[in-house]
Amino acid sequence: MKIHEYQGKELLRKFQVPVPEGDVAGTIKEARQVAEELGEGPFVVKAQIHAGGRGKGGGIKTAATPEEVEQVAGQILEMTLVTPQTGPEGRLVNRVLVEKAQEIARELYLGIVVDRSLGRPVIMMSAAGGMEIEEVAARSPELIIKEAVDPVTGCLPYQARNLAFGVGLDPHLIRAATSFIENLYKMFVALDCSLAEINPLVVTRDGALLALDAKINLDDNALFRHHDLAALEDPAEMDPLEHEARKHHLNYIRLSGNVGAMVNGAGLAMATMDLIKAAGAEPANFLDVGGGASQEMVANGFRIILADPNVKGVLINIFGGILRCDVLANGVVEAVKQVDVKVPIIIRLEGTNVEQGREILQHSGLKFTVAADMLDAAQKVAALVQ
């Protein structure tokens, strides 16, 4: 799960990682009020969207006075911000972060991720702050200093020192840098983060270290033990159909093609998507209704697939094991009662209670084509959506 910069900075504060003073605002009046409370300018007004590269897209602006903050916030709020990370459609800005502008002497990079091949969190630091780390890794990998952390011991003082000296920090900043790194690591572990990236981490003109940006991703699979963090989710940043699917505990990911696919089991769903592509069409979604899906979940899944206007045909590919074919069929019938099906449906059904399932579908009034096997199903649906 992604969260906004302002939310990430609030979490950093709790773990004693220094961030600039500031607060979030949803309206221009609130933005001005935040600036007034911060005291003397200059200020920076930052668009809050789940994408980086905001500076280049006009989503970060400076302002000298609270009046100017109000003006600038008026330009940023409700703009559709396009950055290299948003795609051409951009993102609507609903909130801004107003904070004190810092005088920057140096910009560094600090990030923590889980390295799956090492099976450990890895802390990375680089003197090339402000640049995408992927770009630094491709162009000048020698600029990235890495420390893999043993989760049993946590980040050891010598590792934090290696990182701080490695990026050439002045000796008088080493102590501040090591506690910055150690506290960020503590947060990474305590909150079950999958990414904690501070880019840039700055040295200010008066010699302080500050997290100027914060990109914190949380591990979805650990959210059950952080109810307070789950509340940080911003539905406005999510695809509305994905958001709807999540409410019904469905694994649904929207894609750009036009063949809707309703499948049980992630492996079968992947194989189905491969076959759709091999047949010359593009999947409109990944949907795994799950092994033990109820009739209601099937109905919701079908409804969500059909709600995508790009969908020109639907392939239902079910291998009935724990999810019986009659339950699937009843779910489809349930969904068909609620929505008007205007696109062709191809069904490949096998497994437990397949005869019953077919019979239910036959009497449902739903028009559909039965496929002999998976390949046939993919070819039939591909031919129909061309």
- The contact set with ligand ADP (CB under 6 A) reads 20, 44, 52-55, 60, 99, 101-102, 107, 130, 199-200, 212-213
Q: Does 83 bind Mg ion (CB under 5 A)?
A: no
Comparison of 181 and 349: residue with beta carbon closer to Mg ion? 181
Helix residue ranges per DSSP H, the chain: 5-14, 28-38, 66-76, 133-139, 157-166, 174-190, 227-230, 240-247, 266-278, 295-307, 325-338, 354-362, 374-385
DSSP-derived secondary structure letter, 59: -
Q: Does 213 bind Mg ion (CB under 5 A)?
A: yes
Residue 109 bears catalytic tag:
yes
Tokens of 141: 């990998």
C-alpha closest to that of 26 among 90, 64, 81, 76: 76
Q: Which stretch binds Mg ion (CB under 5 A): 120-128, 171-179, 192-200, 303-311?
A: 192-200
Residue 197 bears catalytic tag:
yes
Comparison of 211 and 311: residue with beta carbon closer to ligand ADP? 211
Taking the C-alpha atoms of residue 100 and residue 42, their distance in angstroms, rounded to an integer, is: 6
Taking the C-alpha atoms of residue 344 and residue 340, their distance in angstroms, rounded to an integer, is: 12
Of these partners, Mg ion, ligand ADP, none, which one is at the site of residue 237 (CB under 5 to 8 Å by kind)? none
Given the DSSP bridges, would you call strands 96-100 and 369-370 parallel, antiparallel or unpaired? unpaired
Minimum distance between the CB of residue 277 and ligand ADP, rounded to whole angstroms?
34
Minimum distance between the CB of residue 314 and ligand ADP, rounded to whole angstroms?
39
Q: Does 199 bind Mg ion (CB under 5 A)?
A: yes
Minimum distance between the CB of residue 24 and ligand ADP, rounded to whole angstroms?
14
Q: Which stretch binds Mg ion (CB under 5 A): 31-39, 184-192, 206-214, 288-296?
A: 206-214
Taking the C-alpha atoms of residue 228 and residue 77, their distance in angstroms, rounded to an integer, is: 27
Catalytic residue among 5, 68, 70, 197: 197
Catalytic residue among 6, 109, 185, 252: 109
What is the set of active-site residues? 109, 197
